[in-house]
Amino acid sequence: MTVTRFAPSPTGYLHIGNLRTALFNFLIARKTGGQFILRLDDTDRERSKQEYVDGIKQDLEWLGLTWDRIERQSERLDRYAEMAEQLRADGKFYECFETPTELDLKRKKQLNMGKPPVYDRAALALDDAAREKQRAEGREGYWRFLLDLERIEWTDGILGPISIDAASVSDPVLIRADGQVLYTFASSVDDMDMGVTHIVRGADHVTNTATQIQIIRAMGGTPPDFAHHSLLTGPQGEALSKRLGTLSLRDLRAQGVERMALLSLMARLGSSQPVELRANLDEIAEGFDLSQFGAAPTKFDAEDLWPLTRAHVQALPVEAVAGKLSAIGVPADLAPAFWAVARENVTRLDDVDGWWTLCRDGAAPLIAPEDAEMIATAFSLLPPPPYGATAWADWTTAVKAATGRKGKGLFMPLRKALTGMDHGPDMATLMPLLQKVPGRG
């Protein structure tokens, strides 16, 4: 069975970059009838917060990215300790004592000598007495994984054949001096234990993948199939990192972005396939193909969400918006006619609020000085609401006869006088919905 996972850290709210990773893994499982695991990387107890856990769940539920089971790494600490002991016994873990400042000096020296800034494995030369001396001096040990200095190769689902020389990579720190298990280790243990078969994540994790392949093999597991999607940039190619706070899923939802607009865009962005609005996740999964994605940085523009949101909202049947219309006070008997008029003039669903306010309460007339006399005559010829299906035609005919106005010189001033706007729905369909008009109740 195909098993995928999404493993966010509950140290903040999900943003558009997180969504790409979650969606790709969800679609792989959905398309193959597999399982999708939500795994919370919450081993950082200081920064992980329940409000972010709740926020992650709410965002995924809003999007429809439902998980088959949820796991918390904070509940698996005993398992990580067990596997750490196994790796120590196998000679794959070693304790180090260098401070960040000392490591930084080493890196600078290596760079000055034209060498790659790779950890020199000095801690491997320490014997028991030397390690005790380090502790007696107040230093706290942390643990690195001993990489086999060979080429690590895999066929990436997006990038193709990958080969990384482990000699060019520092032995990764897997357990900090304070005992915190780091992502590279916890994730490797979890992926092995949970039978994860496919992992899609950002291209910035390629080196992590290389080390995790060795870690999983050292623990006796079989590495999953990996794929690394391109990183998102802003519309001009600028880094998104500083803007991700403004691109949180909860903020986009609050702005009125529709979930299918967001999902349809993110399922195709960066691929050779055109972005097309889809009706549901099954349609998106059916057309999803990792091989269609490229390695180049992918430009994301939040403005692209609005045409898709507008198309989605305007295609909704009245039954799908009945709750919203009822909430703003549209009578049930008027809902079909009101939605038929309003739907063509909204981008966000909340935009219907303004149209109902117009129908219910009327609008302040917008009257140009040169039209004032004609509008006064027009209002004198306008009966009070309610209005029938021919009200607009009847009124404009009467005003034309009384004033001699015709064409745009007739219709535009009347529209502006009734609605306070120079644009909007066909007046013939809008007028029967008006419950108040200037001077007529």
| Of 112, 42, 121, 39, the residue nearest 77 (C-alpha) | 42
Please answer whether residues 14 and 20 qualify as being in contact, where contact means their C-beta atoms are separated by less than 8 angstroms. Answer: no
pLDDT digits 0-9 by tens, 58-86: 999 999 999 999 999 999 999 999 999 99
Quote the tokens at residue 213. Answer: 């392949």
Instruction: Report pLDDT for 252.
Output: 95
What is the C-alpha to C-alpha distance for residues 252 and 39, in angstroms, rounded to an integer? 24
Quote the tokens at residue 178. Answer: 């304070």
What is the C-alpha to C-alpha distance for residues 53 and 63, in angstroms, rounded to an integer? 16
Contacts of 266 (CB under 8 A, 6+ apart): 16, 19, 20, 23
Angle at 156 between CA 16 and CA 292, to 5 degrees: 60
Please answer whether residues 340 and 429 qualify as being in contact, where contact means their C-beta atoms are separated by less than 8 angstroms. Answer: yes
Q: What is the DSSP string of 266-319?
A: HTTTTBSSPP---SSHHHHHHT--GGGB-SS-EE--GGGHHHHHHHHHHT--HH
Structural domains of the chain, with CATH: 3-231 (3.40.50.620), 233-313 (1.10.1160.10), 321-433 (no CATH)
In this structure, the chain runs to a length of 441
Instruction: Report pLDDT for 248.
Output: 92
- Ranges of residues in the chain with a pLDDT under 70 are 241-246, 439-441
What 3-state DSSP class applies to 35?
strand
Quote the tokens at residue 54. Answer: 């709740």
Question: b vs e for 271-293, b when ≥16 Cβ sit within 10 Å of the residue's Cβ?
Answer: beeebebbeebebbbeebebeeb
What are residue 297's phi and psi, to 5 degrees? -50, 140
Please answer whether residues 310 and 346 qualify as being in contact, where contact means their C-beta atoms are separated by less than 8 angstroms. Answer: yes
What is the C-alpha to C-alpha distance for residues 103 and 120, in angstroms, rounded to an integer? 10
What is the C-alpha to C-alpha distance for residues 112 and 130, in angstroms, rounded to an integer? 29
Quote the tokens at residue 123. Answer: 């801690």
Instruction: Report pLDDT for 93.
Output: 96
| Of 156, 154, 213, 222, the residue nearest 193 (C-alpha) | 222
Please answer whether residues 206 and 162 qualify as being in contact, where contact means their C-beta atoms are separated by less than 8 angstroms. Answer: yes
| Of 146, 24, 8, the residue nearest 72 (C-alpha) | 8
| Of 367, 338, 354, the residue nearest 439 (C-alpha) | 367
Instruction: Report pLDDT for 425.
Output: 94
Q: Could you report how far apart the first and last alpha carbons of the chain are, in Å?
A: 67
| CA dist 92 → 29, 86, 87, 184 (Å) | 33, 9, 5, 15
Instruction: Report pLDDT for 247.
Output: 86
Instruction: Report pLDDT for 52.
Output: 96
Instruction: Report pLDDT for 441.
Output: 53
Number of H helices, E strands in the chain: 18, 12
The amino acid that residue 327 corresponds to is A
Quote the tokens at residue 136. Answer: 């007696």
What is the C-alpha to C-alpha distance for residues 436 and 363, in angstroms, rounded to an integer? 8
Angle at 48 between CA 300 and CA 73, to 5 degrees: 95
What 3-state DSSP class applies to 441?
coil
| Residue carrying the six token digits 């499982």 | 29
Instruction: Report pLDDT for 45.
Output: 86
Please answer whether residues 171 and 121 qualify as being in contact, where contact means their C-beta atoms are separated by less than 8 angstroms. Answer: yes
Instruction: Report pLDDT for 438.
Output: 80
